[in-house]
Amino acid sequence: MKTSKIMVIVLTVLLAITMLAGCSSTPAEKPPADQPVETTFPEKSIDLTILFGAGGAADVIGRKLADGAAEKLGKPIVANVRTGGGGAVGYQYVLGQDPDGYNIVWNSTSICVTYHQGNMPADQDFSAFRGVAKISEEASAIAVKADAPWKNLEEFVAYAKANPGKVTVANSGVGSFNHLTAAAIEDALGVQFKHIPLDSKESVTALLGGRVDAMVNMAFDAIPQVEAGEMRALAIVGTQRIDAMPDVPTMKEQGYDVDLLMWRGIAVPKDTPDEVVLKLQDAFLESANSDEFKEFAKKYSLTVAPTTGAEFDAYMAEQDKMIADLMEKIGLKKQ
Amino acid sequence: MLEYLSQGLGIALQWENILFMFIGTILGLVFASIPGLTFSTALILMIPVTFGLDPVPAISVLLGVFAGGMSGGSISAILLGIPGTPSAAATVIDGYEMAKRGQAGRALGMAVYASVFGGIFSLLVLMLVAPQLAKVALKFGPAEIFALVIFGLSTIVSLSGTSLNKGLLAGLFGLLLTTVGLDPVMGLQRYTFGQSWLMIGIGIMPVMIGMFAFPEIIETFQRAKNNKGVSKEPTDKQVVKASFPTLKEMKSTFLLMLKSSAIGTGLGAIPGTGGPIASFLAYDQARRQNPRCGKGAIEGVGAPEAANNGVTGGAMIPLLTLGIPGDSATAIMLGAFLIHGLAPGPLLFQNYGDLVYAIFISILIIYVMVLVIQFFGIRLFVKVLDFPKVNLMIAILAMTVVGSFAINLNFGDVIIMFFAGLLGYLMKRYGFPITPLILALVLGYTIEDNFRKALVYSDGSLAIFVQSPVSLVFLILALIMLLAPLIKPLLEKRAKADKA
C-alpha cells in the first residue's frame, strides 16, 4: 500500500525528531590509551545542568555563557534544564555522573541554601563540588508601591518598628534566597515582618495589586516597575549601587549591615581531574570576560565578577558558613 | 495609535519576520501534535536561536510556537486520543469519539476553526482593553485563584460520565498524586522515598501520555489476538474527509465560541491559571448547551480549542502591560524580550509602541498561517488513520517511551508513564473515567499552593475565602455544580408532586 509506506516514513521522521530532542549528547568515544587526558578534553559535547526554569534569568544567562565557552573548547555545550527541589534535583543529577568534566552545573547560592534546608543527602554539600569559575553576582532590593506612605527606608523602618509583625513582605518562599535576604534585613533593622511566601513574579503581582506592603526580590525584578513609576525601591541589598537604579542607596550606606549577594558560577563533581577543570576554567573565564557576555549580562542587571576555580572554592566555603549561620538564626537550618 | 499601526505593519511584514513566524508556527504544530513533545520544549529549543535575531522576529518565532502549539495539541487528541499538550486534554473527549465514528476530518476542521476564532478574539481583547484587564487580573490573589481553580475542578461532575462517584474518586486520586514531591510552601519532601527524581512530583505529561495511550494500545492488541483479521485492517474503514464547519454550524456555535474564547482570554490574563483550566471550563459550557457532548459533538471539540487559544492573547496581557509572565510559555517569551533590552511593562507601550503593534500584527498573521497550514495539513493528518491499527499502536508505544523521557530527560518519568498507563487501563476496564484524574492532577498543585499562601496572609483563618467577594462567588458556583446532580431529582420530584 502506498499510503502505508508514506505513513512509515512520516512516523519514522516524527520518531527521529522525538529522539533528537531526547538525546542531548553524542555517545562517548574512548580516548586512545597512549594519549594524555589534558590534550584530548573535550572529545564530545558537554552537558550543562541548569537548575531553574526555562526562559528565566538563570537559564538564559547560562546558555549565553555556555555559547562563548563552547566556542573556545571547540565542542558544543548543551544546556539542559533540570529543575526541582530548589536546585537539589539538578545538583544530585550532576553528582551522579562520572567526574570527567562532561557534566557541569550552572551553580549558585542555591547549593548552600538547598543543602542546609535538608534537600540534599548529608554528604553532598557545596564541598561535593569543585569550582570551575565564579561568574557573576546579583543584588536584591526592597521595594514598596509607588503610592505607599514611606518615602525612604527610614520611614519604613519607623513604621515597621511601631507595628511589629504587621508589615507584610513578599519574598520568594520559605528557604529561598529572597527569604534569607528578607530575614537578614529584619535582623539588621531590628524589626519583625510578616513573610508572605510568593515566587518572584507573584511578589510583583501582589505588590502592584496592593496585597502586600513591600517585597524583597532580585533588583532585576523591581527595575522595570521602578522605571515605570509603579514601585519605589527603598534600598539595594549588595555591596554597591546598581547602574539601572543609581539613585537607590545600598543598605550599608544607610547604616545597616546587610550584605547578601546571589552569586553564580560553574562547578563540577569534586573528583574531576585538575587538567579538565583548568581547561573548563579558561574557557568559561574567557566567555565571561568577553564584551558580548558583559553586554548581555547588563540587560539582566548582572554584575560580571569572574574568579578562578580555586578562588571560587574558597568563596563558596565562606558563603556557606555565612548562610548556614543565617539559616540557623531564623530556624531554617536542618543540616 | 494609527502611526504606531503603520510603523508596526512595516516591521511585521518584513520577510525575515514572516519567515520566522512560519518556522515557529510549523514547529509549534509539530511539537504539540506529538505526544510527549510539548510546545514548551520547542520554545526552549528556540531560545538560543533568538539570541541572534532582531527583537520582532525573535518574539515572532516564539509567538508562532505558542499559537501553533496551542492549536496543534488537538491533532493527536482527535486522531489518536492522546492530547498533545495538557491544554488539549478536554478536546480528547469529543474529538476522539468523532474520529472513532469516521468524522476525524470534521473534528479537526472544527478544532482549527475554533483555534483561530479564539486566537483572534484574544488578540482583539489584547489590543483594545489590555491595561484595564490587567488591573482586574492584579486583584486575583491566592484566595481568588484558589476559589477559581476549585470552580474549575467542580467540572469533574460533568466529566464523570455515568457514575459521579467513580468520577469523584478518580479526581480525589489525582489530587492525592499532586502531593508527591516538594511541598509548595515549606519545600519539604513528601512521598519521595529518598528518590531525587520524585522531588519534581508526578508530572502531568507522563501520566497523560500513559493514561490515554495505554488502554488503547492494550485493547488493540487484545482484539488483534482474538481476531487475526483485525491486524491488517486500517484503523478506520470509512472514507475520512477533511471538512471545515459549515456556515450553519458556525452560526449555531457562534455564541459558544464567543463564550469559550472569553473564558480563555480571561483566564490567560490571570497569572497562575491558564490553558488546561480554561479548556475544561469551556467544555463544561458546551456540555450545558448540547447534551450530545461527550458522544462526539463539534461543540465539545470547539469550546476547549477556542478557550486554549484564547489563552494565548490573554497571557500576553500581563506580560506586555506589567512584565509578569502568566505561565511557562510567556516566561520564556519574557526572556526573549529581555535579551533584546526590552523590558515588558508599562513603559513598553510608551517607548516601543511600534514594536508592540508589530507584535499584534504578527499574532494576526500567525493565526492566518495556522489556518492555512492546518487546512492543508488535515488532509495529510487523517492519513494516519489509513495505517493498520496494530502497526500504529506499536509506533505510539515507542513514542510514549521516548516522549515521556524527552520531557525532562528523566528516566523516572518513563516509570511514571508505565504505571499511569497500567492504572489507566484498569480504570477504563472497571468504568472509572480518566479525565477527572487528569484534571485534578493539572489543578492540584495550584489549589494547594494558593490555599496555603492565602492562609499565610490570613494567619490561618479560613475567613479569607469568604471575605473576598470574588472568591466567595466562585466557591458558591462550585458548590452549585457539585450539588446540582443531587438537588435536581429532588426538585423535579417536588414539581411533579405539586402538579398532582
Q: Are B409 and A82 an interchain contact pair (Cβ–Cβ within 8 Å)? A: yes
Q: Tell me which of 3.40.190.10, 3.30.565.10, 3.40.50.970, 1.10.40.50 is the CATH number of domain A140-237.
A: 3.40.190.10
Q: Considering CB atoms only, which of B197, B388, B399 is closest to A15?
A: B399
Bridge partners for A50 per DSSP = A81
Q: Are B339 and A89 an interchain contact pair (Cβ–Cβ within 8 Å)? A: no
- So what's the pLDDT on residue A23? 45
A126 — pLDDT class (breaks 50, 70, 90)? very high
B235 within 8 A of B385, measured Cβ to Cβ:
yes
- So what's the pLDDT on residue B236? 53
Burial degree of B49 (CB within 10 A; 0-12, 13-18, 19+): middle
The helix/strand/coil state of A233 is strand
> Cα distance from B148 to chain A (closest Cα, Å)?
17
**Alpha-carbon span B426 to B419, nearest angstrom:** 11
The kind and range of the H/E element at A264 are: strand A262-269
**Alpha-carbon span A48 to A179, nearest angstrom:** 27
- So what's the pLDDT on residue A157? 92
Q: Considering CB atoms only, which of B185, B187, B333 is closest to A117?
A: B187
Residues in contact with A12: Cβ distance below 8 Å, sequence separation at least 6, in sequence order? none
Taking residues A199-215, what's their average pLDDT? 89
- So what's the pLDDT on residue B239? 54
- So what's the pLDDT on residue A14? 58
Give the N- to C-terminal CA distance of chain B in Å, as an integer.
66
Q: What is the pLDDT of residues A214-264, one digit of tens each?
A: 999 988 888 888 988 899 999 999 888 888 899 999 999 998 888 888 999
- Each of the 500 residues of chain B gets a pLDDT tens digit; together they read 778 888 888 888 888 899 999 999 999 998 888 777 778 888 888 888 888 888 888 889 999 999 998 888 889 899 888 888 888 889 999 999 898 888 888 899 999 999 999 999 999 999 888 888 888 888 888 999 999 999 989 888 878 877 888 999 999 999 999 999 878 777 778 888 877 778 778 988 899 889 999 998 998 888 888 776 554 555 555 555 667 888 888 888 899 999 999 999 999 988 877 788 899 999 998 988 888 888 888 999 999 999 999 998 999 998 888 888 877 788 888 888 888 778 787 778 878 888 888 999 999 999 999 999 988 888 888 777 777 888 888 888 988 898 888 777 778 889 999 999 999 999 999 999 998 999 999 888 889 989 999 998 998 899 999 999 999 999 999 998 888 877 877 887 887 777 76
- So what's the pLDDT on residue B143? 93
- So what's the pLDDT on residue B482? 85
> Cα distance from B261 to chain A (closest Cα, Å)?
24
Percent of chain A with pLDDT over 90: 47
Q: Are B187 and A64 an interchain contact pair (Cβ–Cβ within 8 Å)? A: no
A54 within 8 A of A81, measured Cβ to Cβ:
yes
- So what's the pLDDT on residue A17? 58
Say yes or no: B458 contacts chain A, CB-CB below 8 A. no
Q: How many CB pairs under 8 A join A and B?
A: 173
Q: What count of other Cβ atoms lies within 10 Å of the Cβ of residue A101?
A: 20
- So what's the pLDDT on residue B262? 95
- The yes-or-no verdict on residue A22 having pLDDT over 50 is no
Q: Tell me which of 3.40.190.150, 3.40.50.300, 2.30.30.100, 2.30.130.10 is the CATH number of domain A44-138+262-329.
A: 3.40.190.150
Cell of B286: 458546551
Residues in contact with A192: Cβ distance below 8 Å, sequence separation at least 6, in sequence order? A160, A164, A165, A186
Sign (positive or negative) of CA dihedral A317, A318, A324, A327: negative
Helices B275-289 & B89-100, crossing angle to 10 degrees?
A: 50
- So what's the pLDDT on residue A30? 44
Taking residues A292-308, what's their average pLDDT? 89
Burial degree of B336 (CB within 10 A; 0-12, 13-18, 19+): buried
**Alpha-carbon span A75 to A28, nearest angstrom:** 13
**Alpha-carbon span B43 to B51, nearest angstrom:** 13
Q: Taking the CA of residue B183 as centre, how many other CA atoms within 13 Å lie in the half-sphere pointing to its CB?
A: 14
Same-fold call for A44-138+262-329 versus A140-237: yes
Which of residues 154 through 183 in chain B touch A, CB cutoff 8 A? 181-182
- So what's the pLDDT on residue B451? 94
DSSP code string of A29-48: -PPPTTS-HHHH--SS-EEE
- So what's the pLDDT on residue A32? 47
Cell of B36: 510527549
Residues in contact with B162: Cβ distance below 8 Å, sequence separation at least 6, in sequence order? B431
> Cα distance from B31 to chain A (closest Cα, Å)?
9
Mutate to test the interface with A, among B139, B144, B324, B407 (most CBs of A within 10 A): B324
- So what's the pLDDT on residue A27? 40
Q: By CA distance, what is B331's nearest residue in A? A: A55
Taking residues A111-128, what's their average pLDDT? 89
Among candidates A105, A49, A51, which has minimal Cα distance to A80? A49
B46 within 8 A of B61, measured Cβ to Cβ:
yes
Residues in contact with A267: Cβ distance below 8 Å, sequence separation at least 6, in sequence order? A94, A104, A105, A107, A111, A129, A130, A131, A132, A312
Distance of CA B474 to the CA centre of its chain: 21
Task: Give me the residue spans of the domains in chain A.
Answer: 44-138+262-329, 140-237
Question: Strand A140-145's sheet: what is its strand order?
Answer: A194-197, A168-171, A214-218, A140-145, A231-237
B116 within 8 A of B64, measured Cβ to Cβ:
no
- The yes-or-no verdict on residue A320 having pLDDT over 90 is yes
| Helical residues (DSSP H) of A209-306, grouped into ranges | 219-227, 274-289, 291-299
Q: Are A85 and B141 an interchain contact pair (Cβ–Cβ within 8 Å)? A: no
A188 — pLDDT class (breaks 50, 70, 90)? confident
Taking residues A39-45, what's their average pLDDT? 83
